[in-house]
Structure 1
Amino acid sequence: MLVAFSVAPSGGGAPDASVHDAVAAAVKVVRESGLPNHTDAMFTTIEGEWDEVFDVVRRATEAVGAYGSRVSLVLKADIRPGYTGELTGKVERLEEAIRDNA
């Protein structure tokens, strides 16, 4: 499964409303998990089995909790049993389709 998630603190934090330190704490948890992952400007996507992925999301959310009195969590999941390597495979198929239709 793939899970794309965004987690951010609220109720405190930096005067300029920046959340980069909190997000860095969450991304550190993800990267240390050893699961395939990708972070972009809006989401971090991780790939793995249900229990391991949601354990990482839980721990990342807890890490962000240290930066505010509330935490906002948004996630989207692609649950496709029997498939692995989809973190890059989906993008590769998309790029191929774009080339083929150019």
Structure 2
Amino acid sequence: MEGHASVAADVLASYAADAAREVDGVAGLVEGHLPRQGAVRVEEAEGCATVELHLELAWGASAQEVGSEVQRRVAAYLERMAGAKPGAVNVVVDQIGKP
């Protein structure tokens, strides 16, 4: 059968947020200060998606370890749920939770 199927960027962002929340050390997602600037941003270009997640890190958690695990889980979740293999998963730690 011929045709084309695609998944909207908002759906990919929702999947990425779900995957990130499952990682130990992620205290939450941080929304942007500007309108329409969410905690998860997906940009698509040339058939490849770049995902950027803005996180609150739990107090005492390693930013490097949590960031790497978020990258791994988000990429795997997007591939499993949407058949989309992201070109990049960028993690930005914007806040650290209180002790």
Q: Which has the higher strand share?
A: 2
Bigger Rg over Cα: 1
- Identify the structure with bigger relative contact order (alpha carbons < 8 Å, sequence gap 6+): 1
Q: Which has the higher helix share?
A: 1
